[in-house]
Copies of this chain bind each other. A is one copy, B any other.
Amino acid sequence: MSFHFEVLKTQGRARAGVFHTPHGPIPTPVFAPVGTQATVKAVMPRDLKEIGASLVLSNTYHLHLRPGEDIVAEMGGLHEFMAWPGPILTDSGGFQVFSLAKISKIDDDGVTFRSHIDGSQRRFTPEISMRIQQKLGADIIMAFDQCPTPTDRAVVEAAVARTSAWALRCREAHPDDSRQALFGIVQGGIFEDLRARSAQDLLKIDFPGFAIGGLAVGETKQAMYDTLDFTVPMLPENKPRYLMGVGVPDDMAQAVLRGVDVFDCVMPTRIARHGAAFTPDGTLNMKNLALARDEQPVDATCDCYCCQNFSRAYLRHLVKANEILAHMLLSLHNIRFLIRHAENMRRAILEGSLDAYVASFLQRYLQPA
Contacts and interface: CB of A to CB of B under 8 A. Distances in A.
Interface of A: 37-39, 41-46, 66-67, 71, 74-76, 81-83, 292-293, 295, 305, 309-311, 313-314, 316-318, 320-321, 323-325, 327-329
A80 to B, nearest CB: 8
Contact of A323 (B37, B74, B295): B37
Nearest to A47: B44
A120 to B, nearest CB: 15
A233 to B, nearest CB: 41
B81 A46 contact: no
B324 A44 contact: no
Contacts of A81: 311, 313-314, 317
A43 B318 CA distance: 13
B75 A311 contact: yes
A45 B67 CA distance: 31
A74 B327 CA distance: 24
A81 B317 CA distance: 10
Given A74-B293, A75-B313, A324-B324, 17 more contacts: A37-B318, A37-B321, A37-B323, A38-B314, A39-B325, A41-B323, A42-B325, A44-B325, A45-B309, A46-B305, A46-B309, A67-B313, A71-B293, A75-B293, A81-B314, A324-B327, A328-B328
Q: Which of A43, A66, A81 has the most CB of B within 10 A?
A: A81
Contact of A295 (B66, B75, B311): B75
Given A75-B311, A293-B71, A311-B75, A317 B37 contact: yes
A293 to B, nearest CB: 6
Nearest to A309: B83
A350 B328 CA distance: 39
A8 B223 CA distance: 73
B75 A318 contact: no
A347 to B, nearest CB: 28
29 contacts: A37-B317, A37-B318, A37-B321, A37-B323, A39-B318, A39-B325, A41-B324, A42-B324, A42-B328, A43-B325, A44-B305, A44-B325, A44-B329, A45-B309, A46-B305, A46-B309, A66-B317, A67-B292, A67-B316, A67-B320, A71-B293, A81-B313, A81-B314, A82-B314, A83-B310, A83-B314, A324-B327, A324-B328, A328-B328
